Amino acid sequence: MLARRVWKGFPALKRAFDVAAAATGIFFSLWLMGIIALLILLEDGAPVLFRQTRVGKGEKPFTLYKFRSMRKDAPNVASRDLKNPEQYLLKTGKILRKTSLDELPQLFNILRGEMSVVGPRPLIPAEEKIHLLRRQYGVYDVRPGVTGWAQVNGRDKLPLKHKAMLDKFYVDHRGIYLDLRILKRTVFYVFERRGIEH
């Protein structure tokens, strides 16, 4: 089936929305980010930010920022690959993950043009199987997002191929209506804590 044709003006409109949303989000949440940083410092010291290389648009690597939710002595692997990830979670980190507040620093990734508010979630370079599928599906034609179609249709619990297919659906059907639909569903997912694995 042929992909739907994307409105030519959508990328520029989307970028304008991203910049406005990120700037507004930073302005109103600076006080909250300060409190979160202080709580992490008091519990486990510096650094307060977790930095990780992710794959962006055009498969260009960039540094993604999150608030650190795990202890400094935690193994440097994905949480799902740990036998007992709960033992490494900070008390502050448990709250951050339940509320998705650990994602707040990604507002700066959006301002820098590395991410969008809505788009396929950026992966680490080592996730080779899903990278191959994403290349085939043209997923790297768009900026990765803080939230996306896969995140509001199962999130962490989806098989890799299913995630890649949902990312392809977003790329093929992206537009104002779909972005607004994803944002609306994201709010419900965060409040209901659906599809989240630690």
User: Per the domain annotation, does 131 fall within a domain?
Assistant: yes
Q: Are 151 and 124 a contacting pair, CB within 8 Å? A: no
pLDDT higher than 50, residue 49 = yes
* pLDDT level of residue 80 (50, 70, 90 thresholds): low
Number of domains in the chain: 1
Averaged pLDDT for residues 12-34: 97
CA–CA–CA angle 55, 106, 130 (5° rounding) = 30
pLDDT for residue 190: 76
pLDDT tens digits, 96-122: 998 899 999 999 999 999 999 999 999
Report, as an integer, the average pLDDT of 126-144.
94
Examine the pLDDT at 1 and tell me if it is beyond 50: no
Mean pLDDT of the chain: 89
pLDDT at 198: 41
pLDDT > 70 in the chain, percent:
89
Share of the chain above pLDDT 90, in %: 71
Domain of residue 83, residue span: 10-192
Residue type for position 1: M
Q: Where are the beta strands (DSSP E) in the chain?
A: 49-55, 61-67, 116-118, 145-147
**Between residues 130 and 78, the one the model is more confident about:** 130
Closest of 170, 169, 122 to residue 145, by C-alpha: 122
Distance CA 179, CA 168 (A): 14
Is the predicted pLDDT of residue 33 greater than 90, yes or no?
yes
According to DSSP, residue 50 is labeled E
User: Rounded to an integer, what distance in angstroms lies between the CA atom of residue 136 and that of residue 164?
Assistant: 10
Residue 74, classified by CB atoms within 10 Å of its CB into exposed (0-12), middle (13-18) or buried (19+), is: middle
In a domain, 5, yes or no: no
State mean pLDDT over 24-45: 97
**Whether pLDDT at 48 is above 90:** yes
Q: How far apart are CA 131 and CA 150, in angstroms?
A: 15
Query: Residue 9's pLDDT is what?
Result: 82
Whether residue 2 lies inside any domain: the answer is: no
Q: Give 162-194 pLDDT, tens digit per residue.
A: 999 999 999 999 999 999 999 999 988 777 665
